[in-house]
A and B are shown apart, each in its own frame.
Chain A
């Protein structure tokens, strides 16, 4: 129970099946307030499915998913969960291609989300400043008026992280942020996430071990829909079962 009270995100016995195939199998995990957690695991381990469950895209067959100790995420839809303060970056970068970089950030910017609020919204000076800060952080200030569809893969990844920053959620779920990046970009991304983690709780899924090592945080290993091991990267790397299913290959 103390775990539940101190946790920001609490998953207990979560099971998701697709046509009888268990993508998540009795998965339990707790992320504390202010923590950054890395999730690793082989392809198909259920990492993305776990994020789908947390953000309301997929309903679990069984199990509890609680946010901030009291909100039952299995009962809420995507928009309500986003409004509670959970933001997400997708595995395949998804930005709004026919909007400019600036408008992508503007749309994500924390603020009222209603129909009429949007219809009559005027950009305030404060919002402009926040957008500028985000653009500077993700190094896209020069390209602010360009269409997001024209960015490179790595820049789209960063833009999506920028959208997360603009949204300013309590918990960020980041799915493979370094995929398709050069080594230098990967290192920069790790540094950026570490900076973000100073003020936010973050869950990062990543295959790149150098990247995970750079983050230097607690690691959870998923395998076949459940937690196989948990601890520092060195600890889990030394775990025989982990070596067998994942690192050993």
Chain B
């Protein structure tokens, strides 16, 4: 009405899309087309790192859709991400073919190792890329649909819903740890060679995956925008703010929740499917409850109910993980990194005082100069 932006994108939405699109083109270009010693060169490690961020951003977006707009605080979205990842991992496993350690043309190495004689039925079809791609969306979507159908019909909300989503991802983690699941158990799926004939170790392939992740993030953002700016989006916000009121004006709240939960799970699955070829492994650790909680924290930090903020919040992952792992020595980690930045920054300024902590004011400035590329290690 008042603002006539297409799809109600808004200024920040358009800026976000422009940045994602620019990154999707520029980063691969600067990696492939510039010599390694050029100041414009983007190192491959950065391409991979930022490719991961793009996948996390898509996951964050999917959580913001259900939590920010419909009030469903899912603490189990990591499970949908991991399932999408496993679907892609299964395809990459089959792609290895006879190049595995045991050289079996059909069975992945871990199956040969476990003395399995034939491929389990649920591995059928995964030799085809298109099949795996569909499954990466369908399996998380189906799980979310069944789970949501029970939970939302019996009107499980709030903390109880959060707890059972945690239980869901935890149960899946335990299941996937077992060797009899036929999905690599503890070690998961790894040693991937190529995808659609492209060598996963090649820079060009990595750049391709990066560009694809950027495209998926942009598409996910557009889908979310389309949903939240439709009348359905208004119903979702109504459910978030006054669920029973929404029922009394005739909306079947459980159907709306089910719809948005399923769409969101499929987006998370897509993020996982793009993540796995970039990191080269998927194992049951991805189902760990802490992963899901962390993803919710990105959304909370970035700004719940904003989409753009949620996606940006995912950028903080690596750094936060670092801090969490150091636990009590958190403050130390911050200071140590500042010191490192300082040391890097100082020689350029010519006033070298190595080994000393910078004066009170300097760390902020030095940290800023060190740039985002180094931020995430």
Contacts and interface: CB of A to CB of B under 8 A. Distances in A.
Contact of A113 (B237, B245, B252): B252
A83 B253 CA distance: 13
B339 interface: no
A145 B241 CA distance: 18
A79 B251 contact: yes
* Interface size of B as a range: 20 to 34
Contact of A121 (B1, B230, B259): B230
Nearest to A85: B250
A55 B231 contact: no
B249 A108 contact: yes
A97 B250 contact: no
A114 interface: yes
A97 B241 contact: yes
Contacts of B1: 102, 145
Interface string A74-109: 000111001100011010001111110011001110
A150 interface: no
A135 B250 CA distance: 21
Interface string B44-77: 0000000000000000000000000000000000
Given A107-B235, A121-B230, A167-B250, A114 B245 contact: no
Contacts of A184: none
A64 to B, nearest CB: 22
Contact of A79 (B231, B238, B253): B253
Contacts, number: 78
Contacts of A79: 247, 250-253
A97 to B, nearest CB: 6
A112 to B, nearest CB: 10
B256 interface: yes
Interface in A155-198: 163, 167
B37 to A, nearest CB: 52
A115 B259 contact: yes
A90 B230 contact: no
B232 A82 contact: no
A88 B248 contact: yes
Interface string B222-242: 000001001110110110011
Contacts of B259: 115
A119 interface: yes
Nearest to B256: A115
Contacts of A99: 234, 237-238, 241
Given A94-B242, A97-B241, A145-B2, A78 B247 contact: yes
B255 interface: yes
Contacts of B248: 55, 57, 78, 82, 87-88
A97 B232 CA distance: 17
Contacts of B249: 82, 87, 107-108, 163, 167
19 contacts: A78-B247, A79-B247, A83-B250, A87-B248, A88-B248, A90-B245, A96-B245, A99-B238, A103-B234, A107-B235, A113-B250, A113-B252, A115-B256, A115-B259, A118-B231, A118-B232, A118-B256, A145-B2, A163-B249
Interface of A: 55, 57, 77-79, 82-83, 87-88, 90, 94-99, 102-103, 106-108, 113-115, 118-121, 145, 163, 167
Interface of B: 1-2, 227, 230-232, 234-235, 237-238, 241-242, 244-253, 255-256, 259
The 9 closest A-B pairs by CB, nearest first: A82-B250, A78-B247, A118-B232, A121-B231, A119-B232, A118-B231, A79-B252, A94-B245, A113-B250
